[in-house]
Amino acid sequence: MLSVNERRLWDAHVAMGAIGALPNGGCCRLALSPEDKSGRDLFVGWCREAGCTILIDDAGNIFARRPGFDNDLPAVATGSHLDTQPHAGLFDGIYGVLAGLEVFRALNDAGITTRAPLETVVWTNEECVRFSPPTGGSMVFAGLLPVDEFHAERTIDDTSVREDLESLGFLGPPLGHERHPFDSFFEAHIEQGPILEGERMTIGAVTGIQGARMFEVEVTGQDNHAGTTPMAMRRDALNGAARMALKLNELANAQDSAIRLTIGRFDVSPNAASTVPGSVTFQIDLRHPDDAVLDRVEATLRRLLDETARDQGLELGVRDICAIPPVHFDRTLVDLVEDKARALGLPTMRMLSGAGHDSANLAAIVPTAMIFVPCAEGISHNEAESATASDLAAGATVLLHVMIERAGIV
């Protein structure tokens, strides 16, 4: 059966990972940073060499299109993201983009033209590090986020998203799914969790994604002198925020084992050893497969934050960054992924995604499914993230076959 080129797919990861390379083998390409631009340019160059046309939309999403026989048909699309977390490995997101490119290259090698066109998409800012929200680029495309709001987001470098898109040369015209419809969307991704490896499976046919909510909490007290201000007279924002963090972890530990609560960002101001901190901003990432559980935990979380702020004489502001409901993928496409993986002789299981993905937004507008491959010890968002060349190729070969099935061959 037709398959992708394992070596070429691996080499593409190594070449992409060299952009923004970190000392321990990982990489850092924050969305719309100079490194992200270099990664995007490398991808666009590869796609042009593979015979694709390139479209950029108003969110900076890149659509690399491989023409079919009938280019009036909606494209069968795939893709993921090239932006990364600060201490990322070489695979989260990147794999889904490079697997799409490798599908094009493998079809070129085999001299196959599909009936419908194919596209590989790079979505902007999946990761939500330099600016919010996560998966913002695909939200704009799916009509879930007004583009003006996306453009107005401030980055950690105090630029706006629109300024960054313009200065990097990635601000295109409005597109959106109505003007640019897809037949279907598939996303290949490493699992980012330990299940496939533990079950000795090669392919996860992903049935859906758990729900996620993110909040930004601002705790305000008063800057004051560390040597002179009696403990009882302080309004120490860090002391209050630390109490909040402990209480929220206790809250999470009291739920069922499917709950996930993370405080991954914590900014102290003025962050000076001899000043009582007057202000702390931190972000909460809360996830569970059941929206009703998220509602309940969110209500308790807000109450705990309020109570703690009041007890400590601090002011509190809570801003919603996003609320992504649990997603169920298209049954026909999930079956197709499973059938093709089994037909290729690959150990395959159905599973839910713990991580968020652009596919959550695509699922709102078009039949969507995901293909997972294992990663070592489930480690991700870490330079040590690791996957084998043969598992990556297996997932990309499944992607090749599901895309051919949807697009047809004349």
The residues that touch ligand HGY, with contacts defined as CB under 6 A, are 126-127, 134, 355-356
Give the residue with the Cβ less far from Mn ion, 79 or 93: 93
Among residues 99 and 219, whose Cβ is nearest to ligand HGY?
Answer: 99
Closest approach, Cβ 285 to ligand HGY, in A, equals: 7
Closest separation in Å from C-beta 198 to ligand HGY: 20
Nearer to ligand HGY, 126 or 338 (CB): 126
Give the binding range for Mn ion (CB under 5 A) out of 84-92, 145-153, 177-185, 230-238.
84-92
Q: CB under 5 to 8 A by kind: which of ligand HGY, Mn ion, none does 374 bind? A: none
Min. distance of Cβ 126 from ligand HGY in angstroms? 5
Closer by beta carbon to ligand HGY, 127 or else 153: 127
Q: What is the 3-state secondary structure (H, E, C) of the chain?
A: CCCCCHHHHHHHHHHHHCCCECCCCCECCCCCCHHHHHHHHHHHHHHHHCCCEEEECCCCCEEEEECCCCCCCCEEEEEECCCCCCCECCCCCHHHHHHHHHHHHHHHHHCCCECCCEEEEECCCCCCCCCCCCCHHHHHHCCCCCHHHHHHCECCCCCEHHHHHHHHCCCCCCCHHHHCCEEEEEEEEECCCCHHHHHCCCEEEEEEECEEEEEEEEEECCCEECCCCCHHHCCCHHHHHHHHHHHHHHHHHCCCCCCEEEEEEEEEECCCCCEECCEEEEEEEEEECCHHHHHHHHHHHHHHHHHHHHHHCCEEEEEEEEEECCEECCHHHHHHHHHHHHHCCCCEEEEEECCCCCHHHHCCCCCEEEEEECCHHHCCCCCCCCCCHHHHHHHHHHHHHHHHHHHCEC
Nearer of residues 93 and 367 to Mn ion, judged by Cβ? 93
102/127 with CB nearer ligand HGY: 127
Closest distance between Mn ion and the C-beta of residue 31, in Å? 11
φ, ψ (nearest 5 deg) of residue 391 = -65, -40
CA 123/CA 405 separation, integer angstroms: 24
| Residue 33 C-beta: closest distance to Mn ion, Å | 16
Least distance (Å) between residue 241 CB and Mn ion: 25
- CB under 5 A: which stretch of 93-101, 175-183, 296-304, 332-340 binds Mn ion? 93-101
Q: Which stretch binds Mn ion (CB under 5 A): 18-26, 85-93, 263-271, 358-366?
A: 85-93
Cβ distance 61 to 123 under 8 Å? yes
Q: Which is nearer to Mn ion, 153 or 187 (CB)?
A: 187
Which residue, 182 or 372, is less far from Mn ion as judged by CB? 372
Give the one residue of 92, 102, 338, 385 binding Mn ion; rule: CB under 5 A.
92
134 binds, among ligand HGY, Mn ion, none (CB under 5 to 8 A by kind): ligand HGY
Contacts with Mn ion by CB under 5 A: the residue count is: 2
The residue among 96 and 277 lying less far from ligand HGY, judged by its C-beta, is: 96
- What is the DSSP annotation of 323-348? EE--EE--HHHHHHHHHHHHHTT--E
In the bound complex, what is the minimum distance in angstroms from residue 92's beta carbon to ligand HGY?
Answer: 6
Nearest approach, Cβ of residue 18 and ligand HGY (Å): 22
Instruction: State the residue number with the nearest CB to Mn ion.
Output: 93
Which listed option, Mn ion, ligand HGY, none, makes contact with residue 356 (CB within 5 to 8 Å by class)? ligand HGY
Report DSSP state, residue 280.
E
* Shortest Å distance, C-beta 36 to Mn ion: 14
Asked if residue 93 binds Mn ion (CB under 5 A), the reply is yes
> Which residues would be at the binding site for Mn ion (CB under 5 A)?
92-93
